[in-house]
Amino acid sequence: MSTESQKCPALEIHDLIVSYQKKPVLYGVDLAVPEGSMVGVVGPNGAGKSTLIKTVMGLVSHAHGWVKVFGGELRDSIKRVGYVPQRESVDWDFPVSVMDVVLMGCYGRSGLIKRPGKMEKEKAMQALVKVGLEAYSKRQISNLSGGQQQRVFLARALAQESDLYLMDEPFAGVDAATEVAIVDLLGQIRDQGKTLIVVHHDLATAREYFDMILLLNMRVVGFGKTNEVFNSELLQKTYGGRLTVLSEIAGEVAKQER
Amino acid sequence: MNRVIKFFSFCLFVYLFTNEEGQAARIGELVDTDPWEQIKRFFSFSDRGLQLSLIGAVLFGAVCGLIGSFIVVRKMALFGDAVSHAVLPGVAIGFMWGMEKDPLAILIGATIAGLFGSVLVQAIVRSSRIKQDAALGIVLASFFAFGLCLIRIIQNHEGASRISGLKSYLFGDVAVIDRSDLIIMAIVVVVTVLLFCILYRPFLIISFDRQFAYSLGIPVRFLDAVFQMFLAAAIVISLQAVGVVLVSAMLIIPAATAYLLVDRMSRMIFMAMTLGIMSAALGVFFSFLGSNLPTGPFMVISSSLLFLLAYLFSPNNGRLTKWFKFISLKAKVRDENLLKLLYNYLETHSEAREGIEILISDIANLKKHNQKNMVSDLKRLQKNGAVELVDGKVSLTKEGLSLASTVVRNHRLWELYLTNEADYAADHVHDDAEKVEHLLSEEKVKELELFLDYPELDPHGKPIPGRVNS
């Protein structure tokens, strides 16, 4: 065995079951994401892509199975994990500046009480430079376009300096030029040996963006190197209709258990 | 709907209240009150009761502004309203504790009741299909009703005289605030301000992006509970001055006003605290003028007046500010269009220069305008020094020519930009340029010139005028 495979995976999920109001959204998900990979999570609407990310982050509780981050509980390595929520999940009229939002990313390291110092501000500024928003640092966030909002979230994640990133649709509502810039940036992060798990909506571009693909539709249809997984058979299986029978039966089982 | 019902029930309350016992005493007082004397008395600050009232107003106004800022940005206004009603049974129970007005017992009782109310709301939402707004309505009304019953029971039991202090909790009367109340208020305010200084960042992150706060490992639920506790405490110390029915207004209105005026959380908090203090102090002032009219309503009216001012005149978003901008833009467009007309006329008939005279009737015909209107429009331009009018003839001054050629240049540059860069058809660009010509800034024009490599002709072959310095 090489040393590479002995290293514990950045994210490991075993037999994960998540239900919303007794309807299963994820069913028996197994996954082991090796460190230093950039994974695209692909699947139809309602396949549980966001739920998977939220479950890993502990925002949604799971009925069964376990999640390990860097070989342990999320709690123990929470400072090594960065989360980029969907852009629509916050109120963009909130009275904060672009800089304020990015500084929130430095919070994990600076502790509960301390005000952001000079070093943190520099770090936040560097993150803004990377996403090309340095000129906007003092603007209120309501004056930003959708693509700019997404880049602010990304800068906040960069300022976190995490080792594992979970991103929920970072390309939603972003123009083509910005999308290319973001993909480029994500590639740079990956090249630093960090792990990225990115929910992505567009099948056409997924193939060129990611080196690994997770095909998800309630359960894992396929996971592996992009060129191995991205074939018509598995795609057909992922997108070809919902698993109505599985969904119903699993719902029945969940009801029995309560 | 909720609010409307509350408003009418409040009116009813006030009516009953004033009819019951208040009238006789007040009329007597009013007779010998000279408003001017009262104002002088107010600003001498010598009245002992007034001093206490004002200190109280400053204290609870500040804390309401602070907590209210978070309530407003978290869209929890209705929640604040519910908690403020939910404290009433706690006030009554705190009173029953020693059968007298013990501020500490009331603070503890009311805070517990408020917290219990908010826990109940969350429990209902989590364990049933009832959504938050309905759950708030249920808890708000039932706690309030329960509190009213308890107060009635105390009243029957003890007689009206001993519960006079309790009545202020319903409608608010700053005059009943005494020294022991002030001490409790001061402690609550100091602790609250300290806490929010220390926990400002986590509270800010939770308010802006709750999921992200979780992902950072911030103890979100614990801090929510802390926040609710301090919300309840802020409500309780404001109750005596403002009253249960209106206290949520002191949380929401100053903070909402600040939200209109500034766009940073820290500044918003500071401004909301200032506005809270101002509203409370104004309320004390008005009620002092009118010899002890109920303070709560006056405080709320003061804060709504401040809100109205901000709504109308806020420098960025005020309705009237916007309207003025719109009107002045319209006037500018009208003047610039007339200058452009003169310029174009000169250009086609002779040459665009200053001092060349045109018959007013000619341009009036051109625009199918009535001559009289045209003259009055031109007179306005003359006032601005852009044209000169001499017996039925008009000519551009140097300033007028400069302004006119700027507008024409903007128009033609924009047309060229649209045809060259945005692939508009040449016959489509005119209407768009008609609007844009008035809005282009100096820098944008320079940018366009550079981008188009200092062009000389527009898409219709007309020359683009150069810069004329006035």
- Tens of pLDDT, residues B329-355: 888 888 888 888 888 888 888 777 777
Across A67-71, B230-234, B373-377, B402-406, least confident range: B373-377
pLDDT tens per residue, range B231-268: 989 998 888 888 888 889 999 999 999 999 998 999 99
Mean pLDDT along residues B45-69: 88
Distance, in Å, from the CA atom of B465 to the CA atom of B457, rounded to the nearest integer, reads 9
CB A240 within 8 A of CB A246: no
What is the per-residue pLDDT for B7?
52
Residues B400 and B332 placed together within one structural domain of the fold:
yes
CB B74 within 8 A of CB B200: no
pLDDT tens per residue, range A190-243: 999 899 999 988 888 888 889 899 988 888 888 888 888 887 777 777 777 655
* Strands (E) located in B381-446: 387-390, 393-396
Phi, psi of B362, rounded to the nearest 5 degrees: -60, -50
What is the per-residue pLDDT for B1?
47
What is the per-residue pLDDT for A100?
92
What whole-number percentage of chain B has pLDDT above 70? Answer: 89
Q: Is the pLDDT of residue A113 over 70?
A: no
Instruction: Work out the minimum CA distance from B205 to partner chain A, whole angstroms.
Output: 7
Distance, in Å, from the CA atom of A183 to the CA atom of A133, rounded to the nearest integer, reads 16
Q: What is the end-to-end Cα distance of chain B in Å, rounded?
A: 61
Most confident of A184-198, B20-34, B164-178, B387-401: A184-198
Q: Does B14 touch chain A (CB under 8 A)?
A: no
Domain contains B458 = yes
What is the per-residue pLDDT for B274?
95
Q: Does B199 touch chain A (CB under 8 A)?
A: yes
Domain contains B13 = no
Domain contains A144 = no
Per-residue DSSP letter, A8 = P
Nearest to A95 among B198, B201, B262 (CB): B262
Looking at residue B150, its amino acid is L
H or E stretch at B359: strand B358-359
Looking at residue B210, its amino acid is R
* Contact criterion met (CB < 8 Å) for B209 and A89: yes
pLDDT tens per residue, range B274-288: 999 999 999 888 888
Domain contains A234 = yes
pLDDT tens per residue, range A71-101: 888 888 888 899 999 988 899 999 999 999 9
Distance, in Å, from the CA atom of A52 to the CA atom of B56, rounded to the nearest integer, reads 52
Token pair, residue B54, equals 């004002």
Residues B215 and B332 placed together within one structural domain of the fold:
no
Distance, in Å, from the CA atom of A144 to the CA atom of A100, rounded to the nearest integer, reads 14
Candidates A96, A99, A136, A149, partner chain B, best to mutate (most B CBs within 10 A): A96
Q: Does B195 touch chain A (CB under 8 A)?
A: no
Domain contains A109 = no
Instruction: Work out the minimum CA distance from A151 to partner chain B, whole angstroms.
Output: 16
Distance, in Å, from the CA atom of B205 to the CA atom of B194, rounded to the nearest integer, reads 18
* Strands (E) located in chain A: 11-20, 23-33, 38-42, 64-69, 81-84, 164-167, 195-199, 212-217, 219-225
Domain contains B208 = yes
Q: Is the pLDDT of residue A1 over 50?
A: no
Closest-approach residue (CA) in chain B for A55: B215
SS3 B264: coil
Domain contains B58 = yes
Instruction: Work out the minimum CA distance from A103 to partner chain B, whole angstroms.
Output: 10
Distance, in Å, from the CA atom of A135 to the CA atom of A98, rounded to the nearest integer, reads 10
Nearest to A83 among B73, B204, B215 (CB): B215
Domain contains B3 = no
What is the per-residue pLDDT for B357?
81
pLDDT tens per residue, range A5-49: 456 888 888 888 888 877 788 888 888 998 889 999 988 887 888
Residues B310 and B323 placed together within one structural domain of the fold:
no
Share the mean pLDDT of chain B.
82
Strands A11-20 and A23-33: antiparallel
Nearest to A107 among B216, B265, B268 (CB): B216
- Report in angstroms the alpha-carbon separations of A145 from A128, A129, A175, B259: 15, 17, 10, 21
Contacts of B8 (CB under 8 A, 6+ apart): none
Candidates B195, B208, B210, B215, partner chain A, best to mutate (most A CBs within 10 A): B215
Domain contains B26 = no
Tell me which chain B residues have a C-beta less than 8 angstroms from the C-beta of A156: 212
Domain contains A148 = no
Write out residues 206-235 of B within 8 Å (CB-CB) of A: 207-209, 211-212, 214-218
What is the per-residue pLDDT for B28?
35
Contacts of B129 (CB under 8 A, 6+ apart): none
What is the per-residue pLDDT for B70?
96
Residues B197 and B210 placed together within one structural domain of the fold:
yes
Residues B328 and B301 placed together within one structural domain of the fold:
no
Domain contains B247 = yes
Phi, psi of B433, rounded to the nearest 5 degrees: -65, -30
Tell me which chain A residues have a C-beta less than 8 angstroms from the C-beta of B215: 57-59, 78, 81-83, 85
SS3 B415: helix
Number of domains, chain A = 1
Domain contains A104 = no
What band does B31 get if pLDDT is binned at 50, 70 and 90? very low
Tell me which chain B residues have a C-beta less than 8 angstroms from the C-beta of A112: 199, 201-202, 218
* Contact criterion met (CB < 8 Å) for B204 and A78: no
What band does B292 get if pLDDT is binned at 50, 70 and 90? low
* Contact criterion met (CB < 8 Å) for B73 and A82: no
Could you say which of B267, B290, B317 is where a domain stops? Answer: B317
Could you say which of B317, B344, B359 is where a domain stops? Answer: B317
Residues B255 and B292 placed together within one structural domain of the fold:
yes
Nearest to B202 among A82, A89, A112 (CB): A112
Number of domains, chain B = 2
Domain that holds residue B406: 319-470
Contacts of A115 (CB under 8 A, 6+ apart): B201
Domain contains B396 = yes
* Contact criterion met (CB < 8 Å) for B212 and A91: no
Candidates B208, B262, B269, B314, partner chain A, best to mutate (most A CBs within 10 A): B208
Contacts of B126 (CB under 8 A, 6+ apart): none
* Contact criterion met (CB < 8 Å) for A95 and B215: no
Burial of B18 (0-12, 13-18, 19+ CB in 10 A): middle
What band does B156 get if pLDDT is binned at 50, 70 and 90? confident
Predicted structure pTM score: 0.80
What is the per-residue pLDDT for B301?
92
DSSP-assigned beta bridge partners for residue B390: B393
Domain contains A15 = yes
pLDDT tens per residue, range B179-229: 888 898 999 999 999 999 989 999 999 999 999 999 888 899 999 999 998
Domain contains A45 = yes
Closest-approach residue (CA) in chain A for B206: A104
DSSP-assigned beta bridge partners for residue A81: A164
Residues B87 and B214 placed together within one structural domain of the fold:
yes
Nearest to B73 among A59, A95, A97 (CB): A95
Nearest to B211 among A89, A96, A142 (CB): A89
CATH code (residue B262): 1.10.3470.10
Candidates A74, A80, A104, A197, partner chain B, best to mutate (most B CBs within 10 A): A104
Q: Does B127 touch chain A (CB under 8 A)?
A: no
Mean pLDDT along residues B303-318: 89
Distance, in Å, from the CA atom of A81 to the CA atom of A74, rounded to the nearest integer, reads 8
pLDDT tens per residue, range B69-110: 999 999 988 888 888 889 999 988 888 877 677 788 888 898
Residues B284 and B373 placed together within one structural domain of the fold:
no
Looking at residue A128, its amino acid is L
What is the per-residue pLDDT for A201?
80
Compute CA A155 distance to the chain's CA centroid, rounded to the nearest angstrom.
14
Tell me which chain B residues have a C-beta less than 8 angstroms from the C-beta of A116: 201
Burial of B266 (0-12, 13-18, 19+ CB in 10 A): middle
Could you say which of B278, B296, B317 is where a domain stops? Answer: B317
pLDDT tens per residue, range B383-423: 888 888 887 788 888 888 888 888 888 888 888 888 887 77
Domain that holds residue A167: 3-86+162-257
Residues B163 and B205 placed together within one structural domain of the fold:
yes
Candidates B73, B127, B212, partner chain A, best to mutate (most A CBs within 10 A): B212
CATH code (residue A74): 3.40.50.300
* Contact criterion met (CB < 8 Å) for B211 and A85: yes
Instruction: Work out the minimum CA distance from A235 to partner chain B, whole angstroms.
Output: 31
pLDDT tens per residue, range B263-274: 899 999 999 999
DSSP string covering A147-187: HHHHHHHHHHHHHHT-SEEEES-TTTT--HHHHHHHHHHHH
* Contact criterion met (CB < 8 Å) for A90 and B75: no
Inter-chain Cβ pairs, chain A and chain B, closer than 8 A: 79
DSSP-assigned beta bridge partners for residue A38: A196
Residues B63 and B180 placed together within one structural domain of the fold:
yes
Question: Who wins on pLDDT, B168 or B262?
Answer: B262
How many CA atoms within 13 Å lie on the side-chain side of A240? Answer: 7
What is the per-residue pLDDT for A91?
92
Q: Is the pLDDT of residue B165 over 70?
A: no
Residues B304 and B327 placed together within one structural domain of the fold:
no
What band does B18 get if pLDDT is binned at 50, 70 and 90? very low
What is the per-residue pLDDT for B162?
57
Distance, in Å, from the CA atom of B33 to the CA atom of B291, rounded to the nearest integer, reads 8
DSSP-assigned beta bridge partners for residue A97: A140
Distance, in Å, from the CA atom of B425 to the CA atom of B402, rounded to the nearest integer, reads 29
Q: How many CB atoms lie within 10 A of CB A53?
A: 23
Write out residues 244-303 of B within 8 Å (CB-CB) of A: 259, 262-265, 267-268
What band does B21 get if pLDDT is binned at 50, 70 and 90? very low
Nearest to A94 among B73, B201, B215 (CB): B73
CB B91 within 8 A of CB B110: yes
SS3 B57: helix
What whole-number percentage of chain B has pLDDT above 90? Answer: 26
CATH code (residue B459): 1.10.10.10
Per-residue DSSP letter, B135 = H
CB B381 within 8 A of CB B442: no
Residues B292 and B349 placed together within one structural domain of the fold:
no
Across A107-121, A165-179, B103-117, B444-458, least confident range: A107-121
Q: Is the pLDDT of residue A4 over 60?
A: no
Distance, in Å, from the CA atom of B358 to the CA atom of A201, rounded to the nearest integer, reads 65
